[in-house]
Amino acid sequence: MKIKVCGMVEDKNILSVSNLRIDYIGFIFYGRSPRYAGDDLSKSITDRIPEGIKKVGVFVNEEFETIKELVKGYQLDFVQLHGQETPDFCEKISNLGIRVIKAFHVDDKFMWNMLAPYANVVRYFLFDTKTDKAGGSGKKFDWQLLKKYTLDVPFFLSGGIALEDADKLLQLDHPMLRAIDINSRFEISPGNKDAALIEKFIEAIKGKEDIEPEDTSLIF
């Protein structure tokens, strides 16, 4: 199972987290977020993120040209759309050659059939907890609701996920679950991630990193 760390802001913290076994790293380009990356995000820092970690830009009802400019400026691999973006808008982004993650906020009244028009224009869905404001809530929704999802588009799971949820996540049995999105429950302060705590989560989800044993045999 893959892991995405979202809401990165500080240079040293970005580099520290990038040294962990994560698969995606997210930067929020939404001015009302306490984790807004803004103009202070250094390209010299994002350029140092290992190639194996995909860079994700998170946007909320942003203008197409602004997204296009930031994708180019930071060489983003994915665009995550967290607003009321239409399938046509997602397709327009996708036509740039950028993979799209479309986020939806889930509760027991969520209309799962509304996802179908997006199925051919996004790479992934992201399911987060229903909230009255844009972005995350730091709370979990009832994961049993995922049984209602039947499309063949893989998805990320988000919403208040913490270290203590690792066992339950490993027990989730959904063929389209591809990645876990973590954020506020792994922070020292908004945008400042606790790398040691994230490492514990990675070990719980992926297991400890395999290290080749030293060859102590004698060569004659």
Host domain of residue 44: 2-206
Residue 16 domain-assigned?
yes
Residue 51 domain-assigned?
yes
Residue 214 domain-assigned?
no
Candidate list 23, 108, 128, 173, residue with the active-site label: 128
CA-closest candidate to residue 82, choices 180, 7, 154: 7
Number of domains in the chain: 1
Give Cα 101 to chain centroid, integer Å.
9
Residue 10 domain-assigned?
yes
Residue 25 domain-assigned?
yes
Residues comprising the chain, all counted? 220
Is 6 one of the catalytic residues?
Answer: yes
Contact 194, 182 (CB under 8 A): no
Residue-wise pLDDT tens for the chain (220 aa)?
A: 999 999 999 999 999 999 999 999 999 999 999 999 987 899 999 999 999 999 999 999 999 999 999 999 999 999 999 999 999 999 999 999 999 999 999 999 999 999 999 999 999 999 999 876 655 566 899 999 999 999 999 999 999 999 999 999 999 999 999 999 999 999 999 999 999 999 999 999 999 765 444 444 443 3
Residue 217 domain-assigned?
no
What CATH number did the domain enclosing 32 receive?
3.20.20.70
Candidate list 6, 90, 181, 194, residue with the active-site label: 6
Is 128 one of the catalytic residues?
Answer: yes
Q: Quote the tokens at residue 46.
A: 């994002």
Give Cα 71 to chain centroid, integer Å.
16
Residue 211 domain-assigned?
no
Residue 28 domain-assigned?
yes
